[in-house]
Amino acid sequence: MRIGFIGLGNMGAPMAANLVKAGHEVVGFDVAGVTVEGVKMTASAPDAVRGMEAVITMLPNGGILRSVYGEIVSAGEKGAVFIDCSTVDVESARLAHDMADAAGLLSVDAPVSGGIGGAAAGTLTFMAGGSKEAFEKAAPLFDIMGQKTVHCGQAGAGQAAKICNNMILGISMIGVCEAFSLADKLGLDRQKMYDVVSTSSGACWSVNTYCPAPGVGPKSPSDNDYKPGFASELMLKDLTLSQQAADAVDAPTPMGRRAAELYGEFVENGGRGRDFSAMLPWFQGKGRTN
């Protein structure tokens, strides 16, 4: 398949590389002028779209997505599938679908979970929204770039699933970090704490797979000085998107709102550029009232 790929950053580059390794012809564009082995780079976003059977975008936010789609949909081949893997607000995702549809294109919003490691290993999870026809055309590419894909529903459903999932993740990681910080101050051995929680009612992904305490549980960013697998500012972005969506539909999310506030405070006070699990040492440096 001939594939255009726009947005070749930390996530997009390894995703495109995996498509090349699978034998696809990939043409790319990125405003930073990066290069990816096996990807033919072009001078503009529309140049990466013309003649392509599929176009994948991986962009920073909804405003940029809208702008890029404004440039590229008119260059798309009728019947091509446009796959947006960015994490953006639901409204922007639906607008991108509308723009693609008006240009005679198929479209899928397909944000991902799995981070940079999952992008490199081809083990991402895709949460897809769009028509059955569009999803079926995109599915073989999801199979190359990831290990799991769920067709969540119509336009915007992929983004809705992503922000709901990551709201759970943000809330649960804060709870785990609070509990380990409290356990430390109560004199409880971290390994013993992990042994209990990981096999009890407190078990969750934030403990069992991604434990924020170094040297405990499977290897995670905490064992690498909290160098980000998933940066705290990206968690803040997703939590902010979840609260924007909650506001739009009048959904009560008190824990999600508080999680967004805490990650905002963390990012502005040493958390930027650190893994989102680095909230544990941040809590350790705080007292009951600060």
Residue by residue, pLDDT tens for the chain (290 residues) are 999 999 999 999 999 999 999 999 999 999 998 999 999 999 999 999 999 999 999 999 999 999 999 999 999 999 999 999 999 999 999 999 999 999 999 999 999 998 888 999 999 999 999 999 999 999 999 999 999 999 999 999 999 999 999 999 999 999 999 999 999 999 999 999 999 999 999 999 999 999 999 999 999 999 999 999 899 999 999 999 999 999 999 999 999 999 999 999 999 999 999 999 999 999 998 888 77
Residues with Cβ within 8 Å of 145's Cβ and at least 6 positions away in sequence, in order, are 15, 18, 19, 119, 122, 124, 126
What domains sit in the chain, N to C, each tagged with a CATH number?
2-154 (3.40.50.720), 160-285 (1.10.1040.10)
Q: Mark whether 21 is an active-site residue.
A: no
% helix, strand, coil for the chain, step of 5: 50, 15, 35
Contact 64, 91 (CB under 8 A): no
How far is the C-alpha of 89 from the C-alpha of 106, rounded, in Å? Answer: 20
Report helix, strand or coil for 245: helix
Beta-bridge partner residues of 57: 6, 84
Contact 9, 119 (CB under 8 A): no
Q: Which two tokens stand for residue 157?
A: 């459903």
Beta-bridge partner residues of 109: 84, 129
Per-residue DSSP letters for 99-136?
A: HHHHTT-EEEE--EESHHHHHHHT-EEEEEEE-HHHHH
How far is the C-alpha of 222 from the C-alpha of 275, rounded, in Å? Answer: 8
Catalytically annotated residue among 21, 132, 162, 227: 162
Contact 73, 99 (CB under 8 A): yes
Amino acid type, 175: G
Q: Could you tell me which of 68, 226, 91, 95 has the C-alpha nearest to residue 163?
A: 91
Beta-bridge partner residues of 146: 124
Which pLDDT score, from 0 to 100, does residue 115 have?
85
